[in-house]
Amino acid sequence: MRGKRIFTVLLSFLLIGLWGSAGWTAEAFPTKPISIVVPFAAGGAVDVTIRIIAQEAEKDLGQKILVINKPGAGAAEGQGFVARATPDGYTLLAITSSVVTNTLTKKVDFTVDSFAPIVLYCFDPEVMFVSAASPFKSLEDLIAAGKKEPVTHATPGHSTSHHIASLIMENKFGMKFKFIHTKGATEQIPMIAGGHVQCGLAAYGEARSMVDQGKVRVVGVMSEDRDPRIPNIPTFKEKGYPINYGAWRGIAGPKGLSTEVINRLSKAFNAALDNKEVKEKFAKAEYPLMSKGPKEFEAYIKADYESIKQILSLLQK
């Protein structure tokens, strides 16, 4: 009888221990530093914005967030790295619209479904830049030149949203670009400013300092209405070239992340985005801030995938 009671007590402790362990794991996440892989070189819009968010979110999470730059193959190298990572919440991706274009235009070992969306934090319309010394004073000048002969165009990588936007321009306006693909905005923008290429599409925040220094000129914005950051610059639509297109930025993990981990990360990142200092840093750096949770973000990615898939099918005709 005494042995039976001892067995019962031990079994109870074992069950409580197992339950407590499972509950503790979900509740205590994270228990070690988290890495966010930026699939572009340091200094670009994705790198800058992720570091702003990470610095604030790690206060909530109670662990360091390490930002790791892994550029290559137009962001596909870093994206593939995270897609193959263990889905435990400790390896995340600074996910951008390039994950859509990469899966549609390249041989990669991942799809848009290889990732678990956590938060969408930014949408940035495409902006066309030329060197301040360029003979192109307007969007019309640039497009007219591209109809006569290919205009050299720097991108932050093959199949990035900036590259796709320029392909749409070629298709819609009967012009041609000669592309120079780089590893990111930190290479792309200086090429434009130095006159090594004639133009380039990028996010405004990536080239803002060069604009302020008078080294590059903005000639058009791919948005429905004028961008409040540069209200004196006309939209493509105003000039008779109807294109609304841009880059989105968010954070995701590999497919298979538990709901508990996704919710914990989403809570921390959204709290960071709502922080006054974070908002001020985004505004100062000229990056439009937004916030969509996991389900909204997942639907957003799927809609973008179908849209770009349709655009690419038209370009191939």
Q: For residue 68, which amino acid is it?
A: I
pLDDT at residue 55 in the model: 97
Tokens of 288: 């439009």
| Strand pairing class (216-221; 200-202) | unpaired
Please compute the mean of the pLDDT values over residues 128-153 and round it to a whole number: 96
Output DSSP code: residue 42.
T
Range of lowest pLDDT (54-68, 75-89, 232-246)? 232-246
CB atoms within 10 A of CB 11: 10
pLDDT at residue 17 in the model: 47
- The structure tokens 């000129």 sit at 217
Q: 24: which residues sit within 8 A by CB, 6+ positions away?
A: none
The H or E element that residue 23 is part of is: helix 2-28
Q: Is the pLDDT of residue 317 over 60?
A: no
CA dihedral (83, 85, 88, 93) in degrees, to 10, reads -50
Please compute the mean of the pLDDT values over residues 181-191 and round it to a whole number: 92
Q: 184: which residues sit within 8 A by CB, 6+ positions away?
A: 40, 41, 42, 43, 44, 47, 71, 156, 157
| Strand pairing class (65-69; 34-38) | parallel
pLDDT at residue 26 in the model: 46
Around 6, how many Cα atoms within 13 Å sit in the side-chain half-sphere?
3
Q: Is the pLDDT of residue 194 over 60?
A: yes
The H or E element that residue 96 is part of is: strand 91-96
> pTM of the full predicted structure?
0.75
- Averaged pLDDT score across all residues of the chain: 89
Q: How far is CA 140 from the centre of its chain?
A: 29
Q: Is the pLDDT of residue 25 over 60?
A: no
Q: How far is the CA of 163 from the CAs of 102, 108, 118, 168, 217, in angstroms?
A: 11, 18, 26, 9, 19
Domains and CATH numbers, the chain: 31-124+247-315 (3.40.190.150), 127-221 (3.40.190.10)
Percentage of residues of the chain with pLDDT beyond 90: 70
Tokens of 249: 């930025």
